[in-house]
A and B are shown apart, each in its own frame.
Chain A
Amino acid sequence: MNLKVLDKRAIAPLVEALMDDYRVVGPQAKGSKFTFEAVTDPANLRFDYDTTILPPKKVLLPPQERLATFTLQEDLQVKTVLETEPTVLLGVHTCDLKAIQLLDEVFSKDFPDAQYLAQREQTILISLECLSPCDEHSFCKDMGTLTASEGSDIHLTEIDSAYIVDATTEAGEELLARYATVRDATEADMQKLNKELGAKWPKFNYQLDFETAKLPSMLEAAFEHPLWNDLGDRCLACGSCTNVCPTCYCFNVYDEVDMLLTKGTRSRNWDSCQLDEFARVAGGENFREARAARQRHRLMRKGKYIYEKFDELGCVGCGRCIRTCTAKISIVESFNTIHNGKK
């Protein structure tokens, strides 16, 4: 491992240089919150952000995306649309990084997804180590996403007025060599790094009352748990919990035609299993009508179904679904309720 040091003052020139060749997306302030946005001025980048409203998955799986265009003339012509661009995704926390690794699996297995994979191929990920918890809602320590040893091209850890830079892929090394002004890490830098990494651990709390390895079997036994009806009573079915989730990937596909009905576009947008119409099928039948059943489905996905398909839990502990819920439904409380056998 050949660690480098990037002075904080060298960030802005680095981002400026990157902006000539890439769309650079990074955390920026929006009101009292933060969002990942394309950078127009490096001074707006906020590496001290706690969390973002939507996760960085929106760069790889845009909320709305064109998939194909077609003509409605006699000779039906369909053209795949790939609206991807070379992108540097900057300042990704390790929970979101883990989620991107899961999405990579989802969109390459069984039915490779042309749009996602094309954008992913052109995206360089620069991740950022969290040295303190974003707030009381994150439970990354439980979910094992408190740090990351892989998944990004470059990983940054703050030490005083600089960042320790770990280029873990060839693309990351090339980017550093071409755009960044860095120096080799010294023994003193390494000591600072180890001190920071050692100091961060106790700052994060475990929130779950059990080992996450138990989640799939625990949920298996909880299909008829009274908790679901309780959640159904409180849930507004607004879909915010899944829209802010870094691992949720369900989408809806729809067609739009031009005014003269001669040609059209096929697009997709994010969908949510929490919405009333999600499981409604032709004929009007809705096979997951009760809000309680929809909430159960969400937590089953996070703790059981995804695990059964991909060998990874479908939750990375970012806490966004808890933060966003106006009805104060908490996945941590729900899992603990099931584990502790109480209502």
Chain B
Amino acid sequence: MTTNNKVKVAFFDFASCEGCQLTIVDALQTHLDLLDMVEIVQFREAMTEKGEDYVIAFVEGSCTRKCDEERLFKIREQAALVVALGACAHTGGVNALKNVQPSLQDVREYVYGDKADWYETYPTRPISAVIDVDAFIPGCPIDRGEFVKVVKNVLLGKTPGIPDYPICVECKLKENVCLLLEGQPCLGPVTRAGCGAICPTYGEGCEGCRGLIPHPNENAMKDVLDEAGLKLEEIMSRFTMYNAYQKEQIETVEERI
């Protein structure tokens, strides 16, 4: 279709609300120059054309059905780079809540009623559990500034530049009054930064949508939430809201010196 030097990119969606792709449509309005660097060949939410010659694939949503796997394999085969877009693709997101319910059949019936058997489903996984992923953009939804930064870094051949440190860093540098110290629950100390601590800045404790930092001190976090007056059940539900899948994967091996 074109003979320019732009990198061809495509957007795909799996189990998700498509809010991250909406954020990209939004970002394209404020960062028009993104289109100087890339050519979008497929983006179901924003255009009709369906080009298959993409080099970078942005994938929103988690894998929740057997038939999702085939599509993911195909994307992986075509794309030089696969980027997980948003919490559902990155960590499984809220979709993974069903994994911690006692019965998947009950979940299906709760959602689809007497048509439950019409709909295929199995435990939710982030796409990295199905195919190799080269980069991820966390958040529910993603941060548009971070999306632009990752695109730039990837095009430059750099690492994506997603922070490995917790929300507390950004929150402290904004000089927000600490919600935990005020007795309010917040997952800031174990959640990956990059959102500018947006929820605590507006007085809401962090719910962990950006996933856990590498090597989170979960036990200490539980102690602190306990200190903030939360019941065990509330602590666990806060932990599993966005990180039910990740939580199953965390190794609890403690490093010692």
B172 contacts A243, CB within 8 Å? yes
Q: How far is the CA of A232 from the CA of B255 in the complex (A)?
A: 9
B217 contacts A276, CB within 8 Å? no
CB neighbors of A among B152-198 (8 A): 152, 155-156, 164-166, 168-169, 172-173, 175-178, 180-182, 188-190
Question: What per-residue 1/0 map shows which CB atoms of B218-244 lie under 8 Å from chain A?
Answer: 011101100100000000000000000
CB neighbors of B among A248-307 (8 A): 256-257, 259-261, 270, 272, 275-277, 289-293, 296
Q: Please tell me the size bucket of the interface on A.
A: 35 or more
Count A-B pairs with CB separation below 8 Å.
119
Interface size on B, residues (CB 8 A): 41
Contacts of B156 in A (CB 8 A): 257, 261
A259 contacts B36, CB within 8 Å? yes
Is A112's CB within 8 Å of the partner chain B? no
A233 contacts B221, CB within 8 Å? no
Is A33's CB within 8 Å of the partner chain B? yes
B33 contacts A30, CB within 8 Å? no
B257 contacts A32, CB within 8 Å? no
Is B256's CB within 8 Å of the partner chain A? yes
Q: How far is the CA of A145 from the CA of B176 in the complex (A)?
A: 27
Is A324's CB within 8 Å of the partner chain B? yes
Please tell me which stretch of A2-10, A13-21, A212-220, A234-242 contacts chain B, meaning at least 4 of its Cβ atoms lie within 8 angstroms of it: A234-242
B172 contacts A229, CB within 8 Å? no
CB distance from A234 to the nearest CB of B (A): 5
Contacts of A52 in B (CB 8 A): 175
Is B213's CB within 8 Å of the partner chain A? yes
B152 contacts A257, CB within 8 Å? yes
Is A139's CB within 8 Å of the partner chain B? no
Q: How far is the CA of A209 from the CA of B164 in the complex (A)?
A: 38
Q: Which residue of A lies closest to B215 (CB)?
A: A276
Q: How far is the CA of A260 from the CA of B34 in the complex (A)?
A: 9
Take A260-B36, A277-B165 as given contacts and tell me if A236 and B178 are in contact as well, using a CB distance cutoff of 8 Å. Answer: no
Q: Which residue of B lies closest to A255 (CB)?
A: B158
Q: A261-B152, A275-B169, A328-B227 are in contact. List 6 more A-B contacts (CB 8 A).
A: A31-B177, A232-B256, A236-B217, A238-B188, A243-B172, A276-B215
Q: Which 9 A-B pairs have the closest CB atoms?
A: A238-B168, A290-B255, A236-B189, A259-B33, A31-B177, A53-B175, A238-B189, A277-B164, A63-B173
B: residues with CB less than 8 A from A are 31, 33-34, 36-37, 148-149, 152, 155-156, 164-166, 168-169, 172-173, 175-178, 180-182, 188-190, 213-215, 217, 219-221, 223-224, 227, 254-257
A: residues with CB less than 8 A from B are 30-33, 35, 52-54, 63-64, 228-229, 232-240, 243-244, 256-257, 259-261, 270, 272, 275-277, 289-293, 296, 323-324, 326-328
Give 17 CB contacts A-B under 8 Å.
A30-B175, A33-B175, A236-B189, A237-B217, A238-B189, A240-B169, A240-B178, A259-B33, A259-B36, A259-B37, A259-B148, A259-B152, A277-B214, A293-B257, A324-B172, A326-B181, A328-B227
